[in-house]
């Protein structure tokens, strides 16, 4: 088990316990705002964790190019692919935003070195959007509560 997996598991456990603590007596008021802030922070950390997995995957693939014998074309474009797929391989293109490491053939056609970059991009974007919406929702709820209190006074 990798250190990143352990850190993510511990973080999820702490976040889960924090949310459960909101249901117990003595919780901070207003408790929905605290739950939304904690859920937003958890979503933001999860987005960062998923993105970092892909980021380091692209970084390792990029670093392997030109690093010793048999390193051109990129090992990520050769390893695990059949001869028909690798035929005519000329170079690669990489990107960190969105995550991708594409292998380019001489005829201009492209194939991805790892299909997991697709779900990593989608998941990190969805989690980041969720975190932003939760934090915006907390601000809106606080503003609404303040306006109601001012109107009642």
66-101: per-residue pLDDT in tens? 776 666 777 787 777 778 777 888 888 888 889 888
Mean pLDDT of all residues belonging to the chain: 81
Counting the structural domains of the chain, the total is 1
Range of the domain at 119: 3-152
Record the pTM.
0.74
Q: How far apart are CA 33 and CA 135, in angstroms?
A: 9
Q: How far apart are CA 76 and CA 2, in angstroms?
A: 21
Mean pLDDT computed over 38-62: 87
């Amino acid at each position: 088990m990798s250190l990143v997996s352990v850190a993510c598991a511990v973080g999820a456990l702490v976040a889960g316990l924090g949310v459960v603590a909101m249901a117990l007596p003595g919780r901070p008021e207003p408790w929905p705002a605290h739950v939304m802030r904690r859920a937003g922070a958890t979503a933001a950390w999860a987005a960062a964790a998923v993105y970092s997995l892909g980021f380091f995957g692209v970084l390792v693939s990029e670093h392997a190019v030109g690093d010793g014998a048999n390193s051109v074309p990129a090992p990520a474009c050769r390893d695990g692919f059949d001869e028909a797929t690798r035929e005519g391989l000329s170079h690669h293109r990489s990107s960190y935003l969105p995550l991708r490491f594409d292998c380019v053939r001489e005829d201009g056609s492209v194939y991805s070195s790892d299909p997991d970059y697709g779900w990593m991009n989608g998941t990190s974007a969805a989690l980041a959007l969720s975190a932003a919406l939760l934090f915006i929702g907390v601000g809106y709820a606080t503003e609404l509560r303040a306006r109601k209190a001012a109107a009642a006074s």
